[in-house]
């Protein structure tokens, strides 16, 4: 089955530690996205990538980093600079980054701080 796989489902971070969230898709989509979901705030865009080896900052990129070395993979690193990392992280993809593109979402990773 085609889809988006996020791992792990739950992740715990110690203070000062960098952690990486995995996102893999086998839909052959060009565009991939990372969103952060906090209660009552909806989804906020962290980073997105329209094509391999290229990515752009979203609304809340500070404290995060990404890479897009392969079309199917778009890992997100939550660095120690992100002071409030506890949230639900959603990865998504779309065929392209054009008008009316449907997003396909993964099942998410819940990150908590120890």
Partner 1 sequence: AQSVTQLDSHVSVSEGTPVLLRCNYSSSYSPSLFWYVQHPNKGLQLLLKYTSAATLVKGINGFEAEFKKSETSFHLTKPSAHMSDAAEYFCVVLPEDTGRRALTFGSGTRLQVQP
Q: How far apart, in Å, are the Cα atoms of 17 and each of 14, 77, 81, 111?
A: 6, 10, 9, 13
- Applying CB under 8 A, which part among 17-25, 28-36, 61-69, 76-84 lies near partner 1? 28-36
Interstrand relation of 109-113 and 64-66 (parallel, antiparallel or unpaired): unpaired
12 phi and psi, to 5 degrees? -120, 135
Site residues for partner 1, 38-97, by CB under 8 A, read 40-45, 48, 50, 56, 58, 90, 92, 97
Q: Is residue 103 involved in binding partner 1 (CB under 8 A)?
A: yes
Give the C-alpha separation, 108 to 47, whole Å.
15
Q: Is residue 99 involved in binding partner 1 (CB under 8 A)?
A: yes
Q: Is residue 2 involved in binding partner 1 (CB under 8 A)?
A: no
Structure tokens at 96: 């392209």
Q: Is residue 8 involved in binding partner 1 (CB under 8 A)?
A: no
Instruction: Tally the residues of the chain.
Output: 114
Q: Please, which residue, 107 or 112, has the CB nearer to partner 1?
A: 107
Q: Please, which residue, 41 or 84, has the CB nearer to partner 1?
A: 41
Residue 55 neighbours by CB distance under 10 Å: 20
Q: Which stretches of the chain bind partner 1, using CB under 8 A? A: 31, 33, 35, 40-45, 48, 50, 56, 58, 90, 92, 97-103, 105-108
């Amino acid at each position: 089955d085609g889809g988006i796989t996020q791992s792990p489902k739950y992740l715990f971070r110690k203070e000062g530690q960098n952690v990486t969230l995995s996102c893999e898709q086998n839909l052959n989509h060009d565009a991939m996205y990372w969103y952060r979901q906090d209660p009552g705030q909806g989804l906020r865009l962290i980073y997105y990538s329209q094509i391999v080896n290229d990515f752009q900052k979203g609304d809340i990129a500070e404290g995060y980093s990404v890479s897009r070395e392969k079309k199917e993979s778009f890992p997100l690193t939550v660095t120690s600079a992100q002071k409030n990392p506890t949230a639900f992280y959603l990865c998504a993809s779309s065929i392209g980054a054009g008008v009316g593109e449907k997003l396909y979402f993964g099942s998410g990773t819940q990150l908590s701080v120890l």
